[in-house]
Amino acid sequence: MIIESLIRHSIDTPNKIAFIGADEEISYQNLLVRVRDVAEYLVEYSPKCMALRAENSLDWVIADLAALYAEIPNVPVPLFFTPEQVDHILVESGADLLVGDWDAWVENTAENAHSLDARLVGHAGNLSIWKRSVEDEKPLLTHTGKITFTSGSTGHPKGVCLSQNQLSKVSRALADTIATEVKCEKHLVLLPLSTLLENITGIYVPIIIGATSVVLNGEEVGLSGSSNFNPSQFALALAKYLPNSLVLTPALLMALIEVVKAMPVLAKNLEFVAVGGARVSPQLLDMAHSLGIPAFEGYGLSENASVVSLNTPSAYKAGTSGKPLPHIDVKVSNDGEIYVTGCVALGYIGQPFEQGWYATGDLGHLDEDGFLVINGRKKNQIITAFGRNISPEWVESEAQAFRALYGMVLVGDGEKSLSAILENPNVEQVTAALKQLNQRLPDYARIRTFITAQGLSSMAGFYTSNGRPIRSKFEQWMLSKTDEDDGRIITPINE
């Protein structure tokens, strides 16, 4: 459906701009020509699987679409993955064609422990193409079109195998759901295209509805790595391109709110801002709406081709993740775990899914109006010494309303009270914000102590590749601290 839409628009609106890059614009007609050319070029090397690793660019878009066109399984590789994770991806996927930024990986030098047996065979635009020797080939699941590696709580991400049909299903559902309610003629890609959500919303959905998508490298929109953000650069990109739609994480929504507070005109063209990746505070959404930012929370997993549910202007309820998309069915087990069917991945590499319903590992419920409420991860539940079950994501999302609590991580499993770990060194600011936060929370979920630590967000091994805290690490780290340890002070919160 994605390629069919590209062909249709190349005939019906050949001169319409499909994508805008840093240095060029490309029409739907020219896009199809370039996609076909690159597809034919890739096929010459008889690839069994392609690994695409590069900064966001028009070349990335063309290579990705060429793989769809030629039906070559494609593995987008995030630039912020560690060398060990990239090695794991290549071994698991058996990728024998490397496209993009692989030069440092194939240099056979003594300093490079992750060198690859590969040879340079050509270029696709500005992207290098390397042919790699693969000794132990692993057969991919039948109909695999894309493999997305989810970064969980371990160092070895799982490869989720998705078919073109599943990618088309979710893209079509999003296009139908959004395009019928708002007019999104221009999308600004902010997240890395190696992220499945932005891959779908930044490339596939615009192609299906015949819109224009702006694709710049991360630094040009203010985002570098997985979590470093420059709001000033983001504001410049918004002012220059005036997008109608964005896809943000809660942290980036906070940044957008601050940008719009300083320059209200930057919200004028926005029609739809999807927010996902973590639970979003209703207060944060209310704050966004009061500034004219049309922010709507959604929910999804790679195992369900990225998006399961979404709030929209006509079906919106703060505190929920919206209604399931038309192609999705949701049910909740007796213990509160969410199950999804209708668009379930083929499986993990070498491990096909046998069941029709996918157990998400998330806790929540469907309310009386059919809106999906997500409480948090089942495995992340904090059980206090008093036997109260608390989803840390719930408390952390409530903290999003306070700038002083940015990046807060909640701990306290097995303890009498909960504690917060954060990077803000201003103890007075943090204390005041936590007191306000506690007023919103029931007694058993209130935070009694906190600890500040400089450089928290860059602590090795404490976060997954997409920025989610590895809670067991934080629990161990917190327990190892004394009242005063290396400048880190545990501060009690007095009522």
Average pLDDT over residues 415-427: 85
Quick one: what percent of the chain has pLDDT higher than 70?
Answer: 90
Taking CA 55 as the corner, what is the angle to CA 11 and CA 295, rounded to the nearest 5 degrees?
A: 75
The edge-to-edge listing of strands for the beta sheet with 97-100 is 118-124, 127-132, 97-100, 50-53, 74-76, 144-150, 158-163, 347-348, 351-352
**CA-atom Rg of the chain in angstroms:** 23
Q: In this predicted structure, what is the pLDDT of residue 481? A: 62
Average pLDDT over residues 25-45: 97
pLDDT at 467 over 80: no
Contact between 330 and 372 (Cβ < 8 Å): yes
The edge-to-edge listing of strands for the beta sheet with 372-377 is 329-332, 337-341, 358-366, 372-377
d(CA 230, CA 224): 8
pLDDT at 485 over 60: no
User: Tell me, what DSSP letter sits at residue 412?
Assistant: -
Average pLDDT, the chain: 88
Predicted confidence (pLDDT) per residue in 142-196, tens digit = 999 999 987 654 456 789 999 999 999 999 999 999 888 898 999 999 999 999 9
Q: In this predicted structure, what is the pLDDT of residue 110? A: 44
pLDDT at 108 over 80: no
Contact between 383 and 418 (Cβ < 8 Å): no
Average pLDDT over residues 421-447: 88
CB neighbourhood size of 239 (10 A)? 12
Q: Could you tell me the domains of the chain?
A: 1-377 (3.40.50.12780), 381-492 (3.30.300.30)
Quick one: what percent of the chain has pLDDT higher than 90?
Answer: 57
